[in-house]
């Protein structure tokens, strides 16, 4: 079981068995607006992540490296870095392997281009038969797919784009 996380105020997640061809689960959680109260923001995320980890028991958590735009507020950078830190802490406490992946790598895994936009990511996830509610869910699927291709190359053939022409599996 792999868990892919797109860390943000709206955190996308994707989890599923890595080597069975079973379709993973997509979803998202929207963190509360806490203003400068970073502690409360991170506590909500930690509680949610701990509950998810206990329920699905992943062997690997892969998360997108925090992106820190130059025009962002200090509290936003603290929250984004904090989400990554809490993810690592939860993984460590549950003895789960962790990996961090660059956003451009995720974009390339899902769309073929490391410069894909949010709409491209959603369209690519739909091509695979998913109906992501947010771009964060599409990104989380890209993270999960990237991890699958690296760790289980034989099973990754199930997820070759040629098998999903028009959003329907043809393999």
Pairing type for strands 10-16 and 97-101 reads unpaired
Those residues with Cβ within 8 angstroms of residue 72's Cβ, 6 or more apart along the chain or in another chain: none
Evaluate if residue 164 carries a pLDDT over 80. no
Over residues 127-144, mean pLDDT? 91
Phi, psi of 162 (to 5 degrees): -60, -25
Position 159 pLDDT exceeds 70? no
Q: What is the pLDDT at residue 69? A: 67
- Which secondary-structure segment (H or E) carries 14? strand 10-16
101-107: list long-range contacts, CB under 8 Å, 24+ apart.
101/62, 101/63, 101/64, 101/65, 101/143, 101/146, 101/147, 102/64, 102/65, 103/64, 103/65, 103/67, 103/139, 105/146, 106/6, 106/64, 106/139, 106/142, 106/143, 106/146, 107/142
Adjacent-strand bridge partners of 26: 14
Would the pTM count as exceeding 0.85?
yes
Among 49, 66, 50, smallest CA distance to 13 is for 49
pLDDT value at position 165? 52
User: Which strands, in side-by-side order, build the sheet including 2-6?
Assistant: 25-30, 10-16, 2-6, 60-64, 97-101
pLDDT at 119: 92
The per-residue pLDDT for 170 is 41
What would the pLDDT profile of 10-51 be if each residue is shown by its tens digit? 999 999 987 777 789 999 999 999 888 889 999 999 999 999
pLDDT tens, position by position, 51-108: 999 999 999 999 999 876 666 677 778 888 999 999 999 999 999 999 999 988 888 8
- Dump the DSSP string for 96-119: -EEEEE-HHHHHHHHHS-TT--HH
């Amino acid at each position: 079981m792999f868990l892919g996380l797109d860390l943000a105020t709206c955190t996308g997640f994707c989890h599923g068995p890595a080597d069975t061809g079973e379709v993973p689960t997509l979803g998202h959680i929207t963190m509360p607006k806490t203003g400068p109260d970073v502690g409360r923001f991170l506590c909500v995320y930690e509680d949610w992540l701990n509950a998810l980890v206990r329920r699905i028991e992943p062997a690997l958590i892969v998360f997108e490296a925090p992106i820190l735009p130059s025009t962002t507020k200090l509290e936003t950078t603290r929250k984004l870095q904090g989400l990554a830190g809490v993810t690592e802490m939860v993984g460590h406490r549950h003895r789960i392997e962790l990996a961090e992946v660059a956003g451009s790598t995720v974009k390339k895994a899902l769309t073929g281009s490391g410069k894909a936009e949010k709409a491209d990511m959603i369209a690519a996830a739909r091509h695979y038969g998913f109906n992501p509610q947010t771009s964060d869910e599409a990104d989380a699927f890209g993270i999960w797919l990237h991890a699958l291709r690296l760790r289980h190359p034989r099973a990754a053939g199930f997820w070759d784009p040629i098998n999903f022409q028009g959003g329907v599996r043809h393999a």
